[in-house]
Amino acid sequence: MTDAADSSDPDADSATDVDAAVDADSVTDADLAADGDPAADPAPPDDLPDLDYEAVRAALIDWYEADHRSFPWRETTDPYAILVSEVMSQQTQLSRVVDAWRAFTEEWPTVEALADADRADVVAFWTDHSLGYNNRAKYLHEAARQVVEEHDGSFPDDPEGLQELMGVGPYTANAVASFAFDNGDAVVDTNVKRVCYRAFGVPDDDAAFERAAAFLMPEGESRVWNNAIMELGGVACGQTPRCDEAGCPWRRWCRAYETGDFTAPDVPEQPTFEGSRRQFRGRIVRTLGEYGSLPLDELGPRIRVDYTTGGEGEGTRAWLRGLVEDLSDDGLVDVTVHEGDEAVDRDEAADPGPDDLDDGRDEPDVVVSLRR
C-alpha cells in the first residue's frame, strides 16, 4: 500500500480504522426512497459534495484495472509476501524495493522459512540492501515466528488480528488485510488525503478524511479500491499533478481540475506545471457541467474574456477547438459538428482550412457537450 510519495513509518501513523459498512437498521426513509432499496448508496457525509458516487467509484476502478504500475506483490494474495513488501516500502522507493523483495522471498520463500532463519542473517540482508532501520528486519522476523508458533502458520485475516504481530502498526495491518484477504478498511494516508482534498474539497481534518475515505470505498472491495486510490495519488495526483498525462478518471468531478488550485495538505504552495492549458481544460469541464452543452463560440467567452473567433494563438477559436478535441480524445466531452442541416461526429467532419480559421468565416457550427 505504501507509495514512493509517502515514506512515513506506518507504526507512527495515527490513522484509525473506519467502518465503511452501513448498518441496515440505520437506513433512513430517504435512503429507502432511492429505488426502494435499503442497499442503495447512502447520502455522502457533509465533507463530500453531492455527486454520482457510483460513477466516481466505477471510473477509478476501471482506470486502475485498465493500466497500472506492475509490482510483483500486486500479483499475489500471499499475506507473507505482502507483509514483506509493506515493511520494505516504509522508507524505500518502490523501484528499489522490487529487487530486494525478490531476493528476500527467494532466500526465505515462506513464513516458516523466515521464522526458522537466523535473525542475524535477516538483519544482514536488510543492511546490504539499504532498507532502512534494522529494527524492522528484527520485527519482521519476530512476526514470522509469531505466525508460525501462535497461529499455526496462518496469518490473521483482519486488521485487528494483524496488529498483534510484532512491528505491525495500523497502516501495515490494513494493507495486509486489504491485499491478502480483501478484508481491510479504507486507507487514509498522505496520498489519499491529497486526492480527497483536491478532488472533492474535503477539509484538512483527519476525521473528515476518514469519513470521506470510508464512504468512497465500495463495501467489500478493499483490495482493488485501496490499490486504485493509492495508484491515483502516486501516478496522477502526486505533489506535482499529472492529470491529463495520466488520464485521471476523476477530472470531470475534480474541484482542483476545475479551479486550477492544486494545493493540498502536503502541498502548501501551488505546484509548478503547465498551468495555462490545464486550467482552461478545467474551466471547459466546469462550464459544461453547468450548461450541459454549448456552441463553441458561446463556450469561448465563458472560459476566456478575450476570446476571439479569428486569428491564431491562445484565446482564438482554433486554440479552443484544440482544447475541446483533446478533451474529446480523453473521453470527457463530445464534439458535434453541424454542416448545414446535418450533425456529424467531429472525427467525420472536414477540418477547416487555415484561411477559414483566420477570418472566422465558413467554420462549421461546433457544439461541445459534457460526456455523461
Backbone angles phi, psi at 187, to 5 degrees: -70, 140
- Mean pLDDT on 48-68: 96
Question: In terms of pLDDT, which residue wins out, 120 or 25?
Answer: 120
Sheet holding 342-345, edge to edge: 293-295, 365-370, 333-339, 342-345
Give the range with max mean pLDDT: 85-89, 91-95, 129-133: 85-89
pLDDT digits (tens, 9 = 90+) for 133-180: 999 999 999 999 999 999 999 999 999 999 999 999 999 999 999 999
Q: Show the DSSP H helices in the chain as ranges.
A: 29-33, 53-66, 79-88, 94-107, 111-116, 119-128, 134-151, 159-162, 170-181, 190-200, 206-216, 222-231, 255-259, 275-291, 296-303, 317-329, 354-359
Q: What percent of the chain has pLDDT over 70?
A: 80
Please give the domain boundaries of the chain with CATH numbers for all domains: 1-273 (1.10.340.30), 276-370 (1.10.10)
Q: Quick check: 332 and 248 in contact, CB under 8 A?
A: no
The catalytically annotated residue of 65, 75, 86, 348 is 86
Confidence of residue 121 (pLDDT cuts 50, 70, 90): very high
Nearest alpha carbon to residue 175 among 184, 164, 163, 167: 184
Cβ-based neighbours of 330, under 8 Å, separated by 6 or more = 244, 247, 251
CA 356 – CA 248 distance, rounded (Å)? 34
Q: Is the dihedral of CA 114, 154, 10, 228 positive or negative?
A: positive
CA 27 – CA 48 distance, rounded (Å)? 19
C-alpha pair distances (Å), 77 with each of 74, 80, 135, 186: 8, 9, 26, 18
**Per-residue confidence (pLDDT) for residue 70, from 0 to 100:** 92
243 has a pLDDT exceeding 50: yes
Nearest alpha carbon to residue 332 among 272, 271, 276, 287: 287
Q: Quick check: 191 and 230 in contact, CB under 8 A?
A: yes
Q: Quick check: 14 and 206 in contact, CB under 8 A?
A: yes
Lookup result for grid cell 435499503: 38
pLDDT digits (tens, 9 = 90+) for 305-344: 678 898 888 889 999 999 999 999 988 999 998 765 555 5
Q: Which residues on neighbouring strands pair with residue 7, listed in sequence order?
A: none
Nearest alpha carbon to residue 179 among 56, 55, 89: 89
Residue 86 is a catalytic residue: yes
Nearest alpha carbon to residue 299 among 276, 283, 312, 311: 283
**How many other C-beta atoms are found inside a 10 Å radius of the C-beta of residue 14?**
9
